[in-house]
């Protein structure tokens, strides 16, 4: 404890991504400029010094908040994806009449991607590309935690008679994820060619369209409306 009676922060109490003090605006600036630079140049071509300079701070602050550049990348993805992971896990653990609809997850997924337009570009460049450096990390920390839970939910819904008896839960999971993500991946083409702008009221209409499309494809015959 210092002579002024205030406790002195201990270095050991600082956890990457979980700041115990300091200016939160610095952390957000690092995330913002990190997203911009990593998407423009790729993970391997951007140094922590460059990210820090763009954010108007020092590399030491990246270490303080995130540990290293990989920690910054993880925080970028986690800030967008973690609420969705939590939603799917709650759906997996629910039972009976308390089970929220899969449609709620589909809506949440699409709104997450729409609110984070950098996310599809990050997937293409750093995860889906054959040389993507972040594929293993993304699978382990995010996709690997969400996809199996989604398949389990679809299997349970089928067994409870809500979904078609001939439905393969793995195929349905791939279809659901594709419906959620591909429209935003294809925006550079569908935007100028079809005038597709998934924002505001048009985003709401498109989400409702996608929900109905998925429901009509997987619902048990007696549940179709």
> Three-state DSSP class for 132?
coil
Q: Is residue 107 part of a domain?
A: yes
pLDDT of 34-81, one tens digit each? 988 887 888 788 899 999 999 999 999 999 999 998 899 889 888 888
- For 164-176, the pLDDT digits (tens) are 999 999 999 999 9
Using the predicted structure, report yes or no on whether residue 177 has a pLDDT greater than 80.
Answer: yes
Is the domain of 93 the same as that of 52?
no
Number of domains comprising the chain: 2
Give the domain-ending residue among 23, 45, 67: 67
3-state helix, strand, coil in the chain (%, to 5): 75, 0, 25
The answer on 104 and 22 residing in a single domain is no
CATH number at residue 134: 1.10.357.10
Confidence of residue 126 (pLDDT cuts 50, 70, 90): confident
Helix axes 69-93, 144-159, angle to 10 degrees: 10
Which of 50-59, 95-104, 147-156 shows the lowest mean pLDDT across its residues? 95-104
Whether 37 and 81 share a structural domain: no
Flag whether 1 is in a domain: no
For residues 105 and 159, membership in a common domain is answered with yes
Pair (139, 188) in one structural domain? yes
Q: What is the mean pLDDT of the chain?
A: 82
Does 177 map to a domain?
yes
Residues 6+ apart with CB under 8 A from 75: 17, 31, 65, 66
Q: Are residues 55 and 105 in the same domain?
A: no
């Amino acid at each position: 404890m210092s002579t002024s009676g205030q406790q002195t922060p201990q270095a050991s109490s600082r956890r990457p991504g979980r700041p115990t003090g300091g200016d939160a605006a610095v952390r957000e600036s690092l995330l913002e400029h990190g997203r911009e630079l990593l998407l423009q140049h790729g993970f391997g071509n951007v140094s922590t010094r460059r990210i820090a300079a763009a954010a108007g701070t020092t590399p030491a602050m990246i270490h303080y908040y995130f540990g290293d550049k990989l920690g910054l990348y993880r925080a970028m993805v986690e800030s967008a994806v973690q609420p969705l992971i939590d939603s799917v896990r709650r759906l997996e653990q629910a039972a009976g009449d308390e089970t929220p609809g899969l449609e709620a997850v589909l809506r949440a997924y699409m709104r997450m991607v729409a609110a984070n337009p950098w996310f599809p570009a990050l997937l293409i460049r750093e995860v889906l590309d054959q040389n993507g450096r972040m594929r293993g990390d993304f699978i382990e920390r995010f996709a690997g935690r969400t996809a199996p839970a989604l398949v389990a939910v679809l299997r349970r819904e089928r067994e409870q008679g809500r979904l078609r008896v001939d439905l393969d839960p793995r195929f349905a999971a791939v279809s659901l994820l594709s419906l959620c993500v591909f429209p935003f991946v294809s925006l550079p083409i569908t935007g100028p060619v079809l005038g597709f702008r998934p924002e505001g009221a048009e985003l709401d209409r498109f989400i409702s369209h996608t929900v109905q499309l998925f429901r009509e494809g997987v619902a048990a015959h007696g549940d179709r409306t």
